[in-house]
Amino acid sequence: MITATQGVEITSSCPACGGVLVRDVGQFIERGQLRWGIEGRCQACANGWCEMGVGPAPEEIRQALLAQHGFARVRLAAETNLVPVLRALREMRHLSLGEARLTAAELSGPGLVGTSVEMAHLAEGLRKRSVSTTLVPSPA
């Protein structure tokens, strides 16, 4: 089972006091599920919180991770039977058959890009269906 985690620290102005708000944001795989989290705390007041979710991360988190760590690309490693690819894509991403076919075509060609955690999660789901992939850093 693949375990992957990626995080970044973001600073902004605290809405409560105007001080420096530090947010640790990240994405990780836990028990086979893609998850995300935010932990925020103000350095000047008691403002703080923690939030977690299952599934794709909010776009703000994704963009911060991509800006800090760059993109990862996953593609099919070799010619493969597309039936297990389609099943994995429909199961993991809740795609229609037509959407899964388009996504499988991308995986067979240039590959799909996203955060390294998202692509590791997809690669693991395909591996469970005996589909070999390659996962590499990508300029996008």
d(CA 70, CA 138): 7
d(CA 47, CA 41): 6
Q: Are residues 95 and 52 in the same domain?
A: no
User: 20-30 and 33-42 as β-strands: parallel, antiparallel, unpaired?
Assistant: antiparallel
What is the rounded average pLDDT of the residues 110-129?
95
Q: Are residues 63 and 117 in the same domain?
A: no
Residue with tokens 């993991």: 92
- Sequence-ordered alpha helix ranges (H) in 37-112: 59-69, 82-93, 97-108
Identify which of 112, 113, 110 has the alpha carbon closest to the alpha carbon of residue 100.
112
Q: Are residues 62 and 15 in the same domain?
A: yes
Q: Are residues 44 and 64 in the same domain?
A: yes
Domain count, the chain: 2
30-65, pLDDT tens digit by residue? 988 999 999 999 999 999 999 999 999 999 999 999
Calculate the average pLDDT of the chain.
Answer: 93
The confidence score (pLDDT) of residue 55 equals: 92
Domain of residue 129, CATH code: 3.30.1390.10
CA dist list (Å): 130 to 7, 18, 76, 79, 88: 29, 52, 11, 13, 10
d(CA 122, CA 102): 15
Q: Are residues 80 and 52 in the same domain?
A: no
Q: In terms of residue numbers, what domain contains 98?
A: 71-138
What is the rounded average pLDDT of the residues 21-33?
94
d(CA 137, CA 140): 9
Q: Are residues 58 and 100 in the same domain?
A: no
Q: Are residues 12 and 63 in the same domain?
A: yes
Task: State the pLDDT confidence band at 2, using cuts at 50, 70 and 90.
Answer: low
The confidence score (pLDDT) of residue 22 equals: 97
